[in-house]
Amino acid sequence: MEGFIEEKVWLGLDLSTQQLKSVAINENLEIVCEASVHFDTDLPEFRTVGGVHRHDDNQTVTAPVLMWIKALDMLMDRLRVNGLEFGQVAGISGSGQQHGSVYWKRGARQTLRNLESSKFLHEQLSLSFVLLESPIWMDSSTSKQCRMLEQHVGGAEQLAEITGSRAYERFTGSQIAKIIETKTECYNQTERICLISNFLACLLIGDYAPIDLSDGSGMNLLDIKKKEWNQQCIEFCRSDLVEKLGDQIVPSNETIGMVSDYFVERYGFNPQCYVVAFTGDNPASLAGMCLGPNDVAVSLGTSDTAFISLSSPKPSLDGHVFCNPINENHYMGLICFKNGSLTRERIRNTCADSSWDIFNQLLESTPRGNFGNIGFYFDMKEIFPVVSGDFRYNRFDAEVSSFAAEVETRACVEGQFLRIRIHAESLGFKSGPNTRILATGGASANQSIVKVLADVFNAPVYTYSIPNSAVLGSALLAKFAKEKQNISYYDMVLKLNSNFTLIAKPSSDAGEIYDNMVERYRKLEKRLENDEA
């Protein structure tokens, strides 16, 4: 590629719930530069907690779109300070927390196309949005719209068959329907609706960017087999919705344009630097983890999310099937739970004096199986079951009001991993002799926690040098977009496999203990779903 004077690098971005991250990789897939902006601490003027605003109804959860834009301004300066040679960046891709939505105001495209490189992005785009607070994946305020959408298409199973998922409160279709109903004039003033992934791509190319197939699969609007908007689902929202979404839906590894003049002039990016479609954080994680057929990826972040590669869709009522970001004719199975790292932190704070060292000591002081005690800890209304609150059961499956600190600590971690295993099995996962658990996300750096993960799945747990697979996956997809004619993705990333480190093996009694516990957990979860939802 002419114009590049030295070693080329590829830049990946990830706009997650709590921060905006980036890595640059070289030809050998080594990380040569990274930077991040943490919303709560680096942008305190937006007064977010965990990167979000939880509303008083305990259901609505949003995040300020201008915070994300200001974070990109800061990130670019931090990459410069950390030594990134912008002129060496050959390609960029990125990912974003899934399902959230951004509402560009009429006329915003003109502003986006004419940004002045002497000014910050956030200064120039402050009046470009109809909604300053974007709904995000933690929202659970759209149960009414979900039931109506399922009814509109002929039931939950039919919707899952078409879009890969039954209706979920956080999915974009129901969120848009709620805005059409409750903020109709805002919707009418909207020129373009983006997911958070392609919103970030818009900033990089200086124009509206298309939604990609993988993140688009998380909207309850896309037909995952036909790879097009489903007319029934669109009309459930409003017949003009496709004009606002854009009728183009692109494969996740497709080039969508060049980096904008704004970034060339302000930071020195090469005008030849191309931009590849941005996708959801979980599809990007799947790419970053080089997931094989016997692998389960477990992302232990704000959300605890697990995914598997699927050669054919097997939609279920308590999991999701998305288009695969690497091969558009394949799929990925995904299950997601909202109460992830923030719940572990709450238990750490209440049981372990806010100390991870004490948390780990308590965890290691209790036996596998936790004397038969099982806990469910839902700080926020969970995705499945749609329940909030704490629920504790003793070895006789009788509900109890409290556990000792060490029992509570283990019950929280075992319970979170038992539910991941149960729902991964409903998507087709079956633990076997070659099963590998690939762990990513903040908690994957905690040896005590990942040991419990290995025991519950009765399988070895691997991780690798960086705990954030989404941002690495984005950089890899940026590189793959220009090489996919000559090499398969797995051959391109083969050398990364050597970076996987075995960090935990199951104990010899783990299989028996947790095969038994899984059955009890499944029954107790069903009881909760019936009694509490």
Ligand X SMILES: O=C(CO)[C@@H](O)[C@H](O)CF
Residue 175 in the binding site for ligand X (CB under 6 A): no
Q: Strand pairing partners for 54?
A: 61
Two tokens, residue 95: 């990912």
Q: Which of 17, 309, 339, 446 binds ligand X (CB under 6 A)?
A: 17
- Cis ω before 313 (30° cut-off from 0): no
Q: Which stretch binds ligand X (CB under 6 A): 92-100, 150-158, 231-239, 398-406?
A: 92-100
Q: Which of 88, 98, 145, 409 binds ligand X (CB under 6 A)?
A: 98
The smaller minimum CB distance to ligand X, of residues 281 and 455, is found at 281
Shortest Å, Cβ 285 to ligand X: 9
Question: CB burial class (10 A; 0-12, 13-18, 19+) of residue 8?
Answer: middle
Q: Which of 154, 174, 163, 175 is nearest to 218 (CA)?
A: 163
Residue 218 in the binding site for ligand X (CB under 6 A): yes
For 513, which DSSP code? H
Q: Which stretch binds ligand X (CB under 6 A): 66-74, 91-99, 147-155, 419-427?
A: 91-99
**What is the DSSP pairing of strand 211-212 with strand 249-250?**
parallel
Q: Which stretch binds ligand X (CB under 6 A): 101-109, 245-253, 275-283, 343-351?
A: 275-283
Residue 305 in the binding site for ligand X (CB under 6 A): yes
Q: Which stretch binds ligand X (CB under 6 A): 97-105, 242-250, 363-371, 500-508?
A: 97-105
Phi-psi domain of 500 (left: phi exceeds 0; alpha: psi -120 through 50; beta: other): beta
Q: Strand pairing partners for 295?
A: 436
Two tokens, residue 533: 């939802």
Q: Which of 21, 70, 78, 99 binds ligand X (CB under 6 A)?
A: 99
Shortest Å, Cβ 369 to ligand X: 29
Residue 360 in the binding site for ligand X (CB under 6 A): no
The string of DSSP letters for 403-456 reads --HHHHHHHHHHHHHHHHHHHHHHTT----TT-EEEEESGGGG-HHHHHHHHHH
Where are the strands (E) in 39-87, listed by range? 53-54, 61-64
Count other C-beta atoms under 10 Å from residue 426's C-beta.
Answer: 15
Q: Does residue 215 contact residue 279 with C-beta atoms inside 8 Å?
A: yes
Q: Strand pairing partners for 24?
A: 11, 33
Shortest Å, Cβ 201 to ligand X: 16
Q: Which stretch binds ligand X (CB under 6 A): 60-68, 102-110, 233-241, 279-287?
A: 279-287
Q: Which stretch binds ligand X (CB under 6 A): 94-102, 401-409, 414-422, 525-533?
A: 94-102
The smaller minimum CB distance to ligand X, of residues 88 and 134, is found at 134
The smaller minimum CB distance to ligand X, of residues 303 and 440, is found at 303
Residue 336 in the binding site for ligand X (CB under 6 A): yes
With tokens 């990789």, the residue in question is 25
Q: Which of 16, 36, 62, 230 binds ligand X (CB under 6 A)?
A: 16
Q: Which of 170, 381, 421, 436 binds ligand X (CB under 6 A)?
A: 170
Residue 416 in the binding site for ligand X (CB under 6 A): no
CA separation for the pair 13, 282 (Å, rounded)? 13
Q: Does residue 327 contact residue 492 with C-beta atoms inside 8 Å?
A: no
Q: Does residue 420 contact residue 437 with C-beta atoms inside 8 Å?
A: no
Residue 22 in the binding site for ligand X (CB under 6 A): no
491-510 positions binding ligand X, by CB under 6 A: none
User: By beta-carbon distance, which residue lies closest to ligand X?
Assistant: 97
Shortest Å, Cβ 182 to ligand X: 22
x-or-dash pattern for ligand X, window 421-460, by CB under 6 A? ----------------------------------------
Shortest Å, Cβ 282 to ligand X: 5
Q: Which stretch binds ligand X (CB under 6 A): 70-78, 93-101, 107-115, 263-271?
A: 93-101
Q: Is 333 helix (H, G, I), strand (E, B) or coil?
A: strand
Two tokens, residue 466: 């960086």
Residues of the shown chain interacting with ligand X in the complex, contacts defined by CB under 6 A: 16-17, 97-99, 137, 170, 218, 280-282, 303, 305, 334, 336
